[in-house]
Structures are given as C-alpha cells and as structure tokens.
Structure 1
Amino acid sequence: MVAQARESISRGSKSFAMASKLFAPATRERAWLLYAWCRKCDDLADGQDHGGTMTSVEDAATRLATIRTLTDAALRREATGDPAFDGLGVVAAECRIPHGFARDLIEGFALDAADWRPQTENDLLQYCYHVAGAVGLMMAVVMGVDPQDEATLDRACDLGLAFQLANIARDVAEDAEAGRCYLPRDWLTEQGIAPDALMANPAALAVLQQRLASKAANYEQSARHGTGALGYRSAWAVLSAAGIYGDIAREVARRGPGALDNRVITTKAAKLGWVAKSAFQARGRAAKWPAEMPRQGLWTRPRAD
C-alpha cells in the first residue's frame, strides 16, 4: 500500500514528491497515503491518469458516487479493494483526521461534476477550499496538528488556497481547452472578456492571471505563519513546497500573456534551491513568521457545525 502510494506521488507531482522526502519517515508515508487517495479521486473525477491530459467524462455523477461510496467505506475501515482508498482509511484512523475534511474535498469534485462556474471571488475561494484547502487541513493533522487547533488549521488551509490559485493561474489555457473556467464571472466582466471566448484577449486574461498570482502570494505568506506549530522536518517540507509552488505563480505573473502559450514549470534545480533555502528558514521560522500575525483581509474557511 505504501509502495503504491509512493509511486503515485512520484508520477503525479514531482514537486510534492520532492518536498515529501523532507518529512520524518512516519509522516512521509502517511503523506504519501493521503496524496494517493487525493490523486485517485481526482483521476476518477476527471478521467485522468495521475494528472495529465484532462478528458471529458460522460458519467460524472456515477464517478462522483463511486468516490463517495469508497471514501465512506474506507473511513469506516472497511476494505474497498482499492489501495488508494484503503490507505485513506489507515491514515485517517492513525492520525484522527476529521472525516468532514475528506468529505469537504469530495464536494469540490461535485462542483466540477455539476459544471460549476464561479460568479464572484468568494465563489472562487470557496472552490479552492474544497479542492485544496481541505487537503491542507488533512495534511496538517498528519503532521501532528491538533484537529481543534483552528488557528494553525487556518494557516494550513491558506497554503492549500495558495497552491490552487497558482494552479488556476497556470492552467487558464488548458482549462479553457477542456471547457472549464475558474475565473470569476465578475472578474471577466471587469476586463471585458466573454466567458465563451476566453482566449480572444490574451492581454486582458493576463491581468487576471496576475491577480490570481497576487492572491496566491498573500495566502502563501499567511501559511508561513503556521509553521511554528510544526516540528522542524515538517516545517522544512512545508516551506519547501510553499516556495516551489509559489514560484509557479510568480513565473505566471512575470510572463504576462506569454504564460498562456506554454505551461509554467519549476525546474529541478529551482526545487533543490528551495529545499536548501527552506532548511535555514525552518530554523528561524517562529521569529520570522510569528503565529500571532493576523490573517488580515483573507477569506475565512468554513467551520464544521
């Protein structure tokens, strides 16, 4: 099960695979198990194989029902016959991950299955919470954060939001080709962009990509203020991932309209650079990014009832 999860993260995300190696062994394996479940759900929902080219699926509702059924069974510690889902059951039980966090992620897949489009910035951030912020919450618990520590969980959610905003900024053209758009309709209206002709005005679209990148940077910075609650190796991994993914958003902003032509990637050398830099940042994290720094002006994640 762990070996398959390790292969999944190696194939699905070189950035996360590199950052995960910085964790202590037990945390690393649990992170792999959690990633493998997230990846499997994403692939089922979008008809992909460890990411890659998105395909149009005709049975989205059936796929979503399968994800829900297998996840619920795994959380009850019932064997599902799928290592990715069984792995979720193991890590959720060992780390006491609140089941609501896993179900919140599935609601993100439900939005995509319903061909949902954000109308406002708040809608966008709500979506980012479901597809990435909830993963940040689960990862924080895997790293030893108390599920009742709302302040630290907020910072973990912020990192997920930063990652997803960077993804959306990077993937505007790819999403448009697949018939999807995660840019809020009111943002499009401000720039005079027709929702059904996104690629007709690259200059205006680049303005919105830069807006996404700016928001990603704000959430990335906020997330750093939660690393004081983590052990050194977990903080090292989180800061490395934050820097690596942050570079995606920064490069999108730097390229302007050119970011629509070729997919932005982070080189292996740049990733290793963040691993080295973050080793030092993690040692002085509490002083550099104090936990009490307010999350001023940032969106607030939903709380469980």
Structure 2
Amino acid sequence: MTRRELDAAGITEPALRSAYAHCRRLNASHGKTYFLATRLLPVAHRPAVHALYGFARWADDIVDDLGSGASTAQRAEALATLGRRLDAGLRSGHSREPVVQALAHTAAVYDIDHQYFADFMTSMSDDLAVTDYPTYDDLLGYMHGSAAVIGLQMLPVLGTVVPRAEAAPHAADLGVAFQLTNFLRDVGEDLDRGRVYLPADLLAAHGVDRELLQWSRATGARDPRVTEALKATAHLIRGVYRRAYPGIAMLTPVSRPCIRTAFVLYGAILDAVADDGYAALHHRAVVPRRRRAAVALDGLARVAAARLKAADPPPPPALVRLGHPTAPHAEAV
C-alpha cells in the first residue's frame, strides 16, 4: 500500500519515498483513529497527511516519551534541535532527517504557511514548562499551536469548494475538538505526567482542583465532583464539534468521507467516556472495535458515492500523476 500511495503522489526519489514511508509507519502505529480515517482519502493525498502527522508525533514524543529519566533540559534541547532542523528544512526544502524531509516537501507542494509549524513548536515548548491552564481562554491559546494549526495545515491537502479562508475557522475548531477529546480521555495519564489540560476554572466550578484529582487517581476512589467536572468538559467539547461540523461540507467531495469518519470516531470517544461513567481519571475509555468497523464501512460507502458523482480528484499540485487512485480499503479493526 505504501508503494501505491507514493506512486500515485508522483513521489519517485528513493530517499524521499523512504522519508514518507517512515511517516506513514508513525501514523499507523501511534494514531490508529486518525490513520483509519486517512485510508479514506484519495491515494495520492495520503502521503502528505502522513508527513504532517509524523512530524507532530515526533515532536510530541520528545515532550512526553524521550526516554525514561530524561530531564526537562534534555527534552528542551532535543526540541530545540528539532526546531532548528525544521527551520533549515523549510527554507531549503531538504533535510537529512526523514520526518523533516517529508514535511518540507509537503509544505512546498501544498504551499502550507510555515507560521503554522512555528506556532506548533511554540506550544510543544510550552508543554515543558506549563502544567495547567487557569481558564479555557488560556487553554485555547495553547491549543492554537498544538491543535488548531493542524487543521489549518490539512486544508490545502484536503481541498475546499469555498475560499480557504471561509473553511479555516471550522478546520481550526475541528483540530481543537479532537485534542480536547484526547485531553478528556487521557486526563489520568496526563496527570501522571504532571499536567492538567482541563481548565482550572471549569474544574473549580464543580469543587475540583489538582489535589482532588491526584487523590482520586492515586486511591482509585471515585468522587461525584470529579464526575460532574468531566461531564461539563464533555458538554463543552460537544459544542466545539458543533462549530466545526459545517466545515465538512466545505471540503472537496472526495475528502469529506475521511474527515467525517474522523469526526464520528473522535465523537465516539466522548460516547465511550460517558458510557464508562466518566471514569477517565482511572482508565482510558475505548471505542468498541465493532463501532470502529461500522464507521469505517460507512466511510467507504461515502467514498464510493463521491467517486461516482465526481471525476477523479486532481493530483497534488506541482506533481506528475502516475496513475488513477482506486477506492481505498478500510484498515483492519
């Protein structure tokens, strides 16, 4: 499948093909929900999405999983090194680092604003020093770089049927909705890393603070105040999804099934948290495999319908097409 995607995208240079293949492996191993949705994109456009995700995954791993016992200073230096390589790669279009090489190529092909990557790196640096957010507005400031810009990076790859500026706010909201969903699902794991990504004022409105969260996490004891705070967080997140939803219809028809599938699958995470009694502080909620499979099959049906109604999508800009994409297959779930 990797070869088919790269051939369809017109990526022929061996080192560049290897770089994109590396990013695809990162996506497949770490971002299972996102990777499943990506399989519904036209084949020629998938490598770019893998490059964008691969870079974000690499930076996030430096912040969270650099290695057991790695100090904050070591993580900061590794992140700074990545930032320097990113800047050089974006300027020159080349890098010896596979992930940066694929990202630089994608940014050039799709004319993605380099400021989005700078904003992302700023938020990654914040993770090394900031451990909580007093208000939702404070959290939104962080999520602009960590999530909203991911949606904005994706827009040129997905294509729109309206001016890009009209679709951009919805794309940014969808990136934020996805990340907020992860914050709710992973609240316990984030607490173990010393971080609370739920706004302190929202928690306080239900009588919850960091100390109560830590006590509940350490003892395994449930507290109704925590449950209500997590319910309120889920309600807030669903509002962000509602704001993002109109943007799906603004995408090119062949891209809509991918993003709609991601929309539904991430929303299903919220449902799983609710079905689990908002016990996310104690264990991660999981979307049942049957549910994931049903959503994937629906996405495939929508892909087929979109392909019947429209001609094959054009290849990525500035690339030579090496064949016509065929209907994608759902990833095994």
Same fold (TM over 0.5): yes
Indicate the residue corresponding to 2:186 in structure 1.
Answer: 171
Asked if 1:85 corresponds to 2:103, the answer is no
1:189 to 187, 200, 204: 204
Task: Write out per-residue CA displacement over residues 222-261 of structure 1, whole angstroms, 9 at most, x where no aligned residue.
Answer: 2221122222221000000010011112221332343333
5+ residue gaps, structure 2? 1-18, 217-222, 307-333
Q: Is the 8 A contact 2:88 2:95 kept in 1?
A: yes
Indicate the residue corresponding to 1:16 in structure 2.
Answer: 34
**What is the distance in 1 between the residues matched to 2:254 and 2:70?**
38
Higher RCO, 1 or 2 (CA under 8 Å, sep at least 6)? 2
Q: Is the 8 A contact 2:76 2:128 kept in 1?
A: yes
Asked if 1:271 corresponds to 2:292, the answer is yes
Higher mean alpha-carbon deviation, 53-62 vs 85-94, is at 53-62
Asked if 1:235 corresponds to 2:256, the answer is yes
Indicate the residue corresponding to 2:324 in structure 1.
Answer: none
Indicate the residue corresponding to 1:251 in structure 2.
Answer: 272
Give 1:246's aligned amino acid: G
Q: Which one has a bigger Cα radius of gyration?
A: 2
1:204 to 192, 211, 225: 225
Indicate the residue corresponding to 1:43 in structure 2.
Answer: 61
Q: Residues 128, 208 of structure 1: CA spacing in aligned structure 2 closer, same or farther, 3 A cutoff?
A: farther
How far off its partner does 1:95 sit?
Answer: 0.2
2:246 to 211, 215, 225: 225
**What is the distance in 2 between the residues matched to 1:121 and 1:147?**
30
Indicate the residue corresponding to 1:156 in structure 2.
Answer: 171
How far off its partner does 1:8 sit?
Answer: 0.9
Q: Is the 8 A contact 1:145 1:229 kept in 2?
A: yes
Q: Residues 46, 222 of structure 1: CA spacing in aligned structure 2 closer, same or farther, 3 A cutoff?
A: same
Q: Residues 185, 260 of structure 1: CA spacing in aligned structure 2 closer, same or farther, 3 A cutoff?
A: closer
**What is the distance in 2 between the residues matched to 1:58 and 1:67?**
14
Indicate the residue corresponding to 1:2 in structure 2.
Answer: 20
Q: Residues 109, 236 of structure 1: CA spacing in aligned structure 2 closer, same or farther, 3 A cutoff?
A: same
Indicate the residue corresponding to 1:213 in structure 2.
Answer: 234
Higher mean alpha-carbon deviation, 36-45 vs 139-148, is at 139-148
Q: Residues 150, 189 of structure 1: CA spacing in aligned structure 2 closer, same or farther, 3 A cutoff?
A: same
Q: Is the 8 A contact 1:191 1:204 kept in 2?
A: yes
Q: Residues 233, 89 of structure 1: CA spacing in aligned structure 2 closer, same or farther, 3 A cutoff?
A: same
Q: Residues 250, 126 of structure 1: CA spacing in aligned structure 2 closer, same or farther, 3 A cutoff?
A: farther
Give 1:27's aligned amino acid: H
Q: Residues 208, 128 of structure 1: CA spacing in aligned structure 2 closer, same or farther, 3 A cutoff?
A: farther
- TM-score, scaled relative to structure 1: 0.84
How far off its partner does 1:280 sit?
Answer: 6.0
Note the 1:81-160 alignment, pairs <5 A.
Answer: 81-145=96-160, 149-160=164-175
**What is the distance in 1 between the residues matched to 2:282 and 2:63?**
26
CA-based RMSD: 2.5
How far off its partner does 1:19 sit?
Answer: 0.6
Aligned pairs, number = 281
Task: Write out per-residue CA displacement over residues 155-196 of structure 1, whole angstroms, 9 at most, x where no aligned residue.
Answer: 111111111111111111111111111122222322222323
